[in-house]
């Protein structure tokens, strides 16, 4: 039987289907609209994020440019020059002339100046423990802050403005805080066991080796590479380098260069000028003028062919002139001896330090010029014309007891220290006890140590056995030059002698000991004492080397008079901050740079409801 369909039921079914289709279409439209809105919002979010991070990068670039400018100026000229140029740094954001990229970036400092950077010094210079890569050293440091606001041109709404702040220190480091400091290539290849008890740095590379034991107790840094091997051109060492080398502290290569602020490049030839008398046209307040030992000294001794002129130093315009009744009490210019390494007869200006100390304590002439204090430094300028085969020099003798505030002796010529120096206490001879010493240094073209057994008349024979050394103690910082490896003037023996032979010798030290407490600094090649290192007769045999860094030099009051100061920039932190601020806000994330710490940028600022503004 067939049952006919109800027409009303069919109509109802068609209506339900239409409603269902309409509902599905409506829901689909809502979903599509939501998806399109989500995609659009996500695109806006991505674009705004990109703009935010581009603004951060631009602001950081602005601070980096200023930090680099300030660091270079400080390296070359010092604090006063940096502080005088603060207005220049403030008007030096990145520019279109440097890159067309900056055409779409606006810079302003948080105080409102357009196209500027906020730069300020936030602390005075104080002697303090240094941080970052210079941990373990102490120096004068001042903190600076640089803040830049940047805004990238926007195609998606209101541009995003961001601030970045960098803090850093400009510091001076006393050069004698290093056990060993080389401004040029450093080599160290000792035969006997050798221990370096303080910090080591080279502004070039370091070549090292040992077959019996070489130990670095402290941090070693090198602008170049650290290489267990021999320098190119070193023909005195053959075979495989010994690898019995121990680094007890960190050993870092490719580190920052440490400069003297001499106002020019820090080439060895330029740096050597700190030993030379100034030219007449040089301003003593110039960067180089301030670094010259001549301008730092209390007593200037100038020796010419027919005259000895002794005057006070630059402190009173060299105005106080000493008579022979004064300088004749401690100065002699008539002695001579043979230097078998140089193959020349040395004509020294001899300074009897004991007599100098007694004269300084009692004379009226120079004490009055110095404000009634003892002298602390002497510069010798030997202008005599010497016959072929002769060479001028400076020699200090009788120096066990120094003036009360210490003594620095400087000259552009080779220097010889004879006998015990700066150790007045008998029981401390031959030890590393320096509690009774005074701050002391030598700065010269080359530094030679003569034992207390040295006799000038015995130096003329080529028989090394006639020059027997005796145990000697020297407590003073050394700053001098060397004859480098593979020097073009040398036919043979093309090794500099290394750190182990940096102090030069002219005696048979076999079985005798040189006890040394100080700091060894090499900044340039020797200009006058230019014959290369040679070992054995007729020149010398080596002493037993009992050498140590003098920890007194870590204290500012125990540093030698006129100690040169190295320039360094020490990273602190960088911080993302809101525009219009010069200080960190609570929401900002600090990212430490110098200490090797990491961090992440804070998120871009958000609109109410989670959107990006």
pLDDT value at residue 459:
97
pLDDT at 402 over 60: yes
Statement: residue 220 has pLDDT above 90: yes
pLDDT at 600 over 70: no
Note the pLDDT of residue 13.
60
Give the separation between CA 301 and CA 409, rounded to whole angstroms. Answer: 11
**Taking a C-beta distance cutoff of 8 angstroms, is the pair 202, 224 a contact?**
yes
| 1-37 pLDDT, tens digit each | 454 545 555 555 666 667 766 666 665 666 666 555 5
Specify the residue for token string 């990068």.
57
> Which pLDDT does position 612 carry in this prediction?
27
- Torsion-angle region of 571 (φ positive above 0: left; ψ -120 to 50: alpha; else: beta): beta
Where residue 159 falls among pLDDT bands split at 50, 70, 90? confident
What are the pLDDT digits (tens) for 425-473? 999 999 999 999 999 999 999 999 999 999 999 999 999 999 999 999 9
What pTM was computed for the model?
Answer: 0.87
Sign of CA dihedral 316, 318, 319, 325: positive
Pair of tokens at residue 566? 């190295």
Identify which of 192, 187, 182, 205 has the alpha carbon closest to the alpha carbon of residue 244: 192
- Specify the range with the lowest mean pLDDT, choosing from 210-219, 429-438, 576-585: 576-585
Find out whether 519 and 176 touch, Cβ atoms under 8 Å: yes
Q: What is the pLDDT of residues 351-389, one digit of tens each?
A: 999 999 999 999 999 999 999 999 999 999 999 999 999
Beta strand 200-202 with 590-592 is: unpaired
User: Where does the pLDDT of residue 155 fall: very low under 50, low under 70, confident under 90, or very high at 90 and above?
Assistant: low
What is the C-alpha to C-alpha distance for residues 107 and 99, in angstroms, rounded to an integer? Answer: 14
Mean pLDDT taken over the chain: 89
* Mean pLDDT confidence for 83-111: 91
- Paired tokens of 369: 């010029």
* Residue 125 backbone zone (phi > 0: left; psi -120 to 50: alpha; other: beta): beta
pLDDT of the residue at 157: 58
Contact by Cβ (8 Å): 83, 121: yes
Mean pLDDT of 228-239: 92
The residue-averaged pLDDT of 341-358 equals: 98
pLDDT at 189: 97
pLDDT at 104: 87
**Per-residue pLDDT averaged across 208-237, rounded?**
96
Q: What is the dihedral of CA 290, 265, 175, 228, to 10 degrees?
A: -170
DSSP state of 49: H
The verdict on whether omega for the bond into residue 31 sits within 30 degrees of 0, i.e. cis, is: no
Instruction: Specify burial of residue 13 (Cβ count, 10 A radius: 0-12, 13-18, 19+).
Output: exposed
Given a contact cutoff of 8 angstroms between Cβ atoms, the answer to whether 127 and 140 are in contact is yes
Residue 165's pLDDT band, with cuts at 50, 70 and 90, is: very high
- Strand 251-253 to strand 590-592: parallel, antiparallel, or no bridges (unpaired)? unpaired
Could you tell me the two tokens for 100? 């067309």
Distance CA 417, CA 408 (A): 12
User: How far from 594 is each of 128, 167, 225, 574, CA to CA, in Å?
Assistant: 17, 10, 21, 10
């Amino acid at each position: 039987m067939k049952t006919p369909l109800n027409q009303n039921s069919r109509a109802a079914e068609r209506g339900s289907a239409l409603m269902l289709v309409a509902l599905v279409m409506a829901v689909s439209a809502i979903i599509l609209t939501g998806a399109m809105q989500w995609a659009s919002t996500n695109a806006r979010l991505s674009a705004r994020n990109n703009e935010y991070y581009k603004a951060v990068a631009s602001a950081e670039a602005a601070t980096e440019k200023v930090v680099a400018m300030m660091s270079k100026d400080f390296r070359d000229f010092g604090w006063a020059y940096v502080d005088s140029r603060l207005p220049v740094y403030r008007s030096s954001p990145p520019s279109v002339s440097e890159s067309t990229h900056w055409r779409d970036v606006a810079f302003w400092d948080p105080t409102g100046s357009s196209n500027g950077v906020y730069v300020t010094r936030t602390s005075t210079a104080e002697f303090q423990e240094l941080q970052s890569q210079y941990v373990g050293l102490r120096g004068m440091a001042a903190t600076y802050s640089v803040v830049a606001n940047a805004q990238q041109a926007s195609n998606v709404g209101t541009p995003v403005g961001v601030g970045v702040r960098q803090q850093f220190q400009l510091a001076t480091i006393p050069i004698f805080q290093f056990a060993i400091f080389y401004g040029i290539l450093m080599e160290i290849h000792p035969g006997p066991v050798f221990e370096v008890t303080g910090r080591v740095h080279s502004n070039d590379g370091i070549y090292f080796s040992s077959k019996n034991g070489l130990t670095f107790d402290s941090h070693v840094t090198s602008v170049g590479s650290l290489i267990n091997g021999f320098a190119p051109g070193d023909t005195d060492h053959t075979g495989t380098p010994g690898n019995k080398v121990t680094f007890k502290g960190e050993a870092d290569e490719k580190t920052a260069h440490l400069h003297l602020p001499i106002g020019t490049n820090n080439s060895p030839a330029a740096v050597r000028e700190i030993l030379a008398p100034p030219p007449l046209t040089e301003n003593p307040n110039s960067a180089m003028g301030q670094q010259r030992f001549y301008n730092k000294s209390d007593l200037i001794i100038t020796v010419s062919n027919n005259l000895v002129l002794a005057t006070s130093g630059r402190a009173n315009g060299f105005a106080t002139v000493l008579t022979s009744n004064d300088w004749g009490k401690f100065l002699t210019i008539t002695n001579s001896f043979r230097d078998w390494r140089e193959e020349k007869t040395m004509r020294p200006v001899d300074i009897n330090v004991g007599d100098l100390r007694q004269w300084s304590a009692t004379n009226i002439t120079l004490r009055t010029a110095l404000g009634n204090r003892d002298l602390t430094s002497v510069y010798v300028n030997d202008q005599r014309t010497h016959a072929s085969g002769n060479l001028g020099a400076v020699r200090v003798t009788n120096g066990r007891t120094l003036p009360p505030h210490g003594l620095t002796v400087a000259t552009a010529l080779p220097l010889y220290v004879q006998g015990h120096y700066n150790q007045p206490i008998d029981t401390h001879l031959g030890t590393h006890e320096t509690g009774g010493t005074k701050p002391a240094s030598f700065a010269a073209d080359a530094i030679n140590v003569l034992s207390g057994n040295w006799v000038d008349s015995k130096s003329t024979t080529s028989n090394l056995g006639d020059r027997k050394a005796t145990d000697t103690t020297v407590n003073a910082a050394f700053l001098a030059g060397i004859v480098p490896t593979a020097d073009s003037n040398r036919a043979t023996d093309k090794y500099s002698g290394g750190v182990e032979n940096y102090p030069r010798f002219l005696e048979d030290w076999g079985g005798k000991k040189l006890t040394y407490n100080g700091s060894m600094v090499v900044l340039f090649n020797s200009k006058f004492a230019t014959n290369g290192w040679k070992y054995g007769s007729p020149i010398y045999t080596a002493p037993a080397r009992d050498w140590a860094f003098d920890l007194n030099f870590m204290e500012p009051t125990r540093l030698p008079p006129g100690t040169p100061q190295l320039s360094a920039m020490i990273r602190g932190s960088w911080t993302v901050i809101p525009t219009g601020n010069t200080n960190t806000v609570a929401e900002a994330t600090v990212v430490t740079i110098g200490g090797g710490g990491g961090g992440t940028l804070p998120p871009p600022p958000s609109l109410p409801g989670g959107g990006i503004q």
